[in-house]
Amino acid sequence: MDIRLDAISHSYDDFEVMRDISLDISSGQIVCIVGPSGCGKSTLLRFIGGLERPSRGRVLQLSEPPEGCLNPLTYIFQDFALLPWRSVSGNISLVLDDHGIRGKAAQGIIDDVLARTKLTDFAKALPKQLSGGMKQRVAIARALAVNPAVMLMDEPLSALDSQTRELLMDDLVELWSRQPFTAVYVTHNLAEAVRLGHRVVVLSRRPGQIREVVEIDKPLAEREFGDADLDRAQKHLWQLMRDEARAADAELINV
Amino acid sequence: MSDMSRGKTVAFRGGGFAPKPQRWIGVFVFVTLILLAEWGTRSGWITALTLPKPSDVFDTFRELYESGLLFKHLGPSLSRLVVGAAIGASVGISVGVLIGLFSYIRSGLVPLVAAIFPIPKIALLPLFVIWFGIGEGSKYALIAFGTFTPTVVATYGAVDNVDRTLIRMGQSFGLSWWSIVRKIVLPGAMPGILSGLRISLAIAIILLVAAEMLGAQYGIGAYILEAGSLYDLERLFAGVVILSLLGVFVSFIIGMIERRLLGWRS
């Protein structure tokens, strides 16, 4: 399913946060959105999934979601958003229940997504028993369970330590290689962006505008930690962002 | 490494600020106080008018139990407590959840609840007798009304504190409104609701005595009030002990429910 952002602008009262953002997201691609803090990248992601409405402009679905897709636009949150009172499999059955999938059918899906995220042994565990990386894998399993057309990932690895982040990036690449999915991946971490993004969209500081779209041609599976091409791309992104980031950092918040 | 021996151990200054449950200390405090009272009343430096002898209170209690009067008093009181508190708590939780969820209900009812919270419910007993009759109705109403307000306040506070990111998550997965309330809001508010219930149920026990001021022949409250007006300190204390035990029992039950329902808390 392709998504088009059509001239999106947004302001709170007379405080402009985003100006005229147009972007096409095509199927099977991971689009990373990077930008200095406060540029509205997470807000943009909430527009795409319909959790918030932009002041001007529209988000368009260019085609019908594929058959068997329960929740076309599915989020993965930075803080995992797992229900602490439900076990790992309970957290997944939560999102299936409302689509009328219960009992055996649900169990089948749950077993499948837990196997794909290597969580089979933890089906009965409560979130409090899991490490951060495991929690995020549960959230990824939950997202996979509803068979999304587009995954909306809001800084999914930012709450994790750097080793866990590397491991989860490998997992994401593996998941994508086995079955390419469409994703919009918001992050402030440029290493993640060059590792996972087919395209990297650089936003300027507030009001957020598209500064540049960087294409990275190297196939995901061939990208590795400390790759020279990726380092070059990352350096380029950083040059684009540095001044913006510095200026954004020096701004007063909520004036 | 010889330098090590000349070094000074860094003084420990951490620790503390983390009380842990100590099993028998509570019982010890009770027993000590009772023994102290017994010794004081026996030796005479506490006069019989100040405090009854704990052993006499215990005898009264035993008489009460052996004559079967205990259950004659306890039965009606417990049913008043259970019915009244159940009505008050369930209406309170429902209204609290509605206040937590809907802007208009919130704006309309929060000032109203704030207005009726500080009314001493005992003062309204004559009114309840006219509204609900001198029989059980007025007693249920008084206890229900007294449990209602603290439950409402605790419940909407608890609903307000439910993690909004969990609700956004529910919406983002296309869960229905009712599913979000049932599977995310209510379980998320449960810790706050239960700790509110601890307070409301204690208030229900307090109001039990007030409810039995008018038109009650049997009941712990009636028993205490009668003993009080006759200045029969042994019976007064026997009644008070029953109320205390009731309080401990209720708190124990809630503790059990908490352990069952809130095992997910870290």
Query: Structure pTM?
Result: 0.84
Could you give the ipTM of this predicted complex?
A: 0.87
Whether the pLDDT of residue B2 is over 60: the answer is: no
Considering the domain A1-66+149-226 in this protein, what is its CATH number? 3.40.50.300
B265–A contact, CB cutoff 8 A: yes
Domain coordinates of chain A in residue numbers? 1-66+149-226, 84-147
Nearest to A126 among B174, B179, B264 (CB): B264
Q: Find the helix packing angle between B136-160 and B103-116, rounded to 10°.
A: 130
Partner-chain contact B187 A94, CB within 8 Å: no
How close A226 comes to chain B (CA, Å)? 34
Residue corresponding to tokens 């089906």? A123
CA A147, A153, A154, A155 dihedral sign is positive
What's residue A103's pLDDT?
A: 87
Q: What is the pLDDT along chain A (255 residues), one digit of tens a residue?
A: 788 998 889 988 888 888 899 999 988 899 999 988 778 888 899 999 999 999 999 999 888 888 888 999 999 999 999 999 999 999 999 999 988 888 898 999 999 999 988 899 999 999 999 999 999 999 999 999 998 989 999 999 988 898 999 899 999 999 899 888 899 999 988 989 998 999 999 988 878 888 889 888 888 888 887 788 888 888 988 888 887 788 777 776 654
Q: Report the chain A residue with the minimal C-alpha distance to residue B178.
A: A98
Provide the mean pLDDT of chain B: 91
Detail the DSSP E strand segments found in B17-88: none
How close B259 comes to chain A (CA, Å)? 12
The C-alpha atoms of residue A44 and residue A201 are separated, in whole angstroms, by 12
DSSP 3-state percent helix, strand, coil across chain B (nearest 5): 75, 0, 25
Asked if B220 and B242 count as a contact pair (C-beta separation under 8 A), the reply is: yes
Q: What is the three-class DSSP state of B51?
A: coil
Residue corresponding to tokens 């030796």? B43
Asked if A59 and A3 count as a contact pair (C-beta separation under 8 A), the reply is: yes
Asked if A240 and A193 count as a contact pair (C-beta separation under 8 A), the reply is: no
Q: Report the chain A residue with the minimal C-alpha distance to residue B162.
A: A83
- What pLDDT, in 10s, does the model give residues B198-257? 999 999 999 998 898 888 889 999 999 999 999 988 999 999 999 999 999 999 999 999
Which of A98, A126, A142, A154 should be substituted to probe chain B, the one whose Cβ sees the most B Cβ atoms within 10 Å? A98
A47–B contact, CB cutoff 8 A: no
Partner-chain contact B264 A75, CB within 8 Å: no
What's residue A254's pLDDT?
A: 55
Whether the pLDDT of residue B3 is over 70: the answer is: no
Asked if A30 and A198 count as a contact pair (C-beta separation under 8 A), the reply is: yes
Partner-chain contact B173 A49, CB within 8 Å: no
A100–B contact, CB cutoff 8 A: no
Output phi, psi for A25, to 5 deg: -115, 115
Asked if A95 and B169 count as a contact pair (C-beta separation under 8 A), the reply is: no
Q: For residue B14, which amino acid is it?
A: G
Q: Report the chain A residue with the minimal C-alpha distance to residue B260.
A: A85
Mean pLDDT of B185-189: 95
Query: Using 50, 70 and 90 to split pLDDT, how confident is the model at B196?
Result: very high
A207 upstream amide cis, omega within 30 of 0: yes
- Identify which of A27, A19, A33 has the alpha carbon closest to the alpha carbon of residue A3: A27
Own/partner long-range contacts of B238-246 (Cβ < 8 Å, ≥24 apart)? B238/B57, B238/B60, B238/B61, B238/B64, B241/B57, B241/B61, B242/B61, B242/B70, B242/B74, B243/B205, B243/B208, B243/B209, B246/B81, B246/B205, B246/B220
Whether the pLDDT of residue B265 is over 90: the answer is: no
Q: Is A120 exposed, middle or buried (0-12, 13-18, 19+ CB in 10 A)?
A: middle
- What pLDDT, in 10s, does the model give residues B211-228? 988 888 899 999 999 999
Query: Using 50, 70 and 90 to split pLDDT, how confident is the model at B170?
Result: very high
Collect all residues of chain B within an 8 Å Cβ-Cβ radius of residue A128.
264-266
Considering the domain B51-265 in this protein, what is its CATH number? 1.10.3720.10
Asked if A137 and A171 count as a contact pair (C-beta separation under 8 A), the reply is: yes
Q: What is the three-class DSSP state of B60?
A: helix
Written as six digits, the tokens of A145 are 């369970």
Whether the pLDDT of residue B134 is over 80: the answer is: yes
- What pLDDT, in 10s, does the model give residues B51-89? 889 999 999 999 999 998 899 999 999 999 999 999 999
The C-alpha atoms of residue B177 and residue B170 are separated, in whole angstroms, by 9
Share of chain B above pLDDT 90, in %: 73
